[in-house]
């Protein structure tokens, strides 16, 4: 066989010998480019994860002095004091965050899940439905501070006769609105994941649409829906910007209601993220506030990370269980 001048210098005939083949297959061509690429990627991944570790370590370390010495007092203390003393604590913040979580659960969950059911199971597939879908996706992308503006306009000013102005009620309503799109989107996804064969079997024996949804679709989608609600609640208690806009107190807060004191709803308020913000900013005056802020962060993270972990674990178990 005459080697073509266009091929590489090694002709086909030479390449066919067993020794050559062996050498070619075994030869570890150094792939420097690939190695560098892979290392860069690994560094990226490690950095992404490292952030979490460094963050947690730093925060726990900063707050350790407070958490380890007077945890109980801290949890029951208030913002009444202007200095870092024995009475400083997050109790009012916990109450505020508690009620915000309640509002999310009571308002955003039923409305959000109901909306998702309607959009996925009942609504005809026409332009209006598509528009509503798009609208919800856009709402999900609106910055939280803008929701604060809505809360300011609607609840603090507009419905002042009902909410009392810059109160916990306004805050709860504002945050319920903020997380509503998230609840709708995650619930919709969970419902969409229900296989059609399940529905057909039920329709086939003469069940109405709601009967199919209630008896088959919702139980099947329940874990996914629950995941969404946990994530939404975690988001709600972590938000600060909308609270600032609707008038959360920065500074001293006189009243210290209990957790189930409904009167607290029509009074001025704080919540955990606001407490953290305030103390962080005060640390210029007294460095002790930094430790208090860090301790408050740990308390907040305890709730947020628990909710998030529960949501993620639930979703992973649920995905594994479905064949």
CA–CA distance, 206 with 134 (Å, rounded to integer): 33
Cβ proximity of 161 and 195 under 8 Å: no
Query: Could you say whether residue 105 binds another protein (CB under 8 A)?
Result: no
Binding residue for another protein (CB under 8 A) from 293, 295, 299, 318?
293
Binding residue for another protein (CB under 8 A) from 3, 13, 34, 263?
34
DSSP secondary structure letter of residue 84 = S
The one segment of 5-13, 84-92, 117-125, 258-266 that binds another protein by CB under 8 A: 117-125
For residue 80, the SS3 value is coil
Nearer to another protein, 18 or 284 (CB): 284
Nearer to another protein, 2 or 47 (CB): 47
The one segment of 9-17, 19-27, 73-81, 115-123 that binds another protein by CB under 8 A: 115-123
CA–CA distance, 156 with 164 (Å, rounded to integer): 7
Site for another protein in 67-86 (CB under 8 A): none
Nearer to another protein, 36 or 261 (CB): 36
Query: Could you say whether residue 47 binds another protein (CB under 8 A)?
Result: yes
Instruction: Kindly report the backbone phi and psi dihedral angles of residue 78, in degrees, each rounded to the nearest multiple of 5, phi listed first.
Output: -130, -175
Nearer to another protein, 210 or 259 (CB): 210
The number of CA neighbours under 13 Å toward the Cβ of 292 is: 34
Site for another protein in 126-155 (CB under 8 A): 132, 134-139, 141-150, 152-154
Query: Could you say whether residue 302 binds another protein (CB under 8 A)?
Result: no
Site for another protein in 233-252 (CB under 8 A): 234-235, 237-241, 244-245, 247-251
Q: How far, in Å, are 41, 43, 44, 301 from residue 47 at the CA level?
A: 10, 6, 5, 21
For residue 211, the SS3 value is helix
Binding residue for another protein (CB under 8 A) from 10, 51, 106, 302?
51
Cβ proximity of 161 and 266 under 8 Å: no
Cβ proximity of 197 and 187 under 8 Å: no
Binding residue for another protein (CB under 8 A) from 12, 40, 106, 193?
40
CA–CA distance, 250 with 238 (Å, rounded to integer): 17
Site for another protein in 181-220 (CB under 8 A): 181, 184, 197-211, 215-216, 219-220
CA angle (81 as vertex; 59, 79 as ends), nearest 5: 60
Query: Could you say whether residue 25 binds another protein (CB under 8 A)?
Result: no
Nearer to another protein, 153 or 162 (CB): 153
The one segment of 5-13, 47-55, 83-91, 257-265 that binds another protein by CB under 8 A: 47-55
CA angle (232 as vertex; 234, 132 as ends), nearest 5: 160
The one segment of 17-25, 69-77, 230-238, 255-263 that binds another protein by CB under 8 A: 230-238
CA angle (65 as vertex; 59, 70 as ends), nearest 5: 115
Query: Could you say whether residue 297 binds another protein (CB under 8 A)?
Result: yes
For residue 38, the SS3 value is helix
Nearer to another protein, 78 or 227 (CB): 227
CA–CA distance, 88 with 73 (Å, rounded to integer): 8
How many residues form the binding site for another protein (CB under 8 A)?
110
């Amino acid at each position: 066989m005459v080697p073509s001048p266009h091929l590489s210098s090694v002709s086909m005939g030479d390449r066919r010998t067993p020794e050559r083949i062996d050498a070619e297959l075994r030869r570890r061509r150094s792939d420097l480019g690939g190695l560098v690429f892979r290392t860069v990627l690994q560094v990226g991944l490690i950095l992404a994860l490292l952030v979490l570790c460094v963050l947690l370590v730093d925060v726990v370390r900063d707050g350790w002095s407070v958490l380890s010495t007077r945890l109980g007092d801290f949890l029951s203390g208030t913002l009444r004091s202007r200095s870092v003393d024995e009475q400083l604590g997050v109790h009012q913040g916990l109450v505020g965050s508690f009620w915000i979580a309640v509002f999310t659960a009571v308002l955003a969950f039923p409305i959000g899940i109901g909306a998702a059911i309607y959009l996925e199971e009942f609504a005809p597939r026409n332009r209006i439905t598509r528009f509503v879908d798009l609208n919800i996706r856009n709402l999900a992308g609106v910055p939280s501070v803008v929701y604060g503006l809505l809360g300011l306009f609607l609840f603090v000013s507009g419905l002042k006769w009902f909410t009392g102005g810059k109160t916990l009620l306004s805050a709860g309503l504002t945050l319920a609105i903020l997380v509503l799109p998230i609840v709708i989107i995650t619930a919709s996804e969970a419902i969409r994941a229900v296989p059609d064969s399940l529905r057909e079997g039920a329709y086939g024996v003469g069940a109405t649409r709601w009967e199919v949804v209630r008896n088959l679709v919702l139980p099947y989608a329940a874990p996914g829906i629950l995941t969404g609600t946990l994530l939404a609640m975690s988001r709600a208690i972590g938000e600060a910007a909308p609270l600032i806009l609707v008038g959360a107190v920065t500074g001293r807060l006189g009243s210290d209601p209990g957790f189930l004191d409904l009167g607290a709803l029509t009074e001025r308020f704080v919540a955990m993220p606001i407490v953290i913000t305030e103390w962080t900013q005060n640390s210029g005056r007294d460095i002790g506030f930094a430790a208090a802020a860090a301790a408050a962060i740990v308390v907040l993270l305890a709730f947020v990370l628990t909710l998030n972990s529960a949501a993620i674990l639930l979703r992973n178990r649920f995905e594994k269980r479905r064949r």
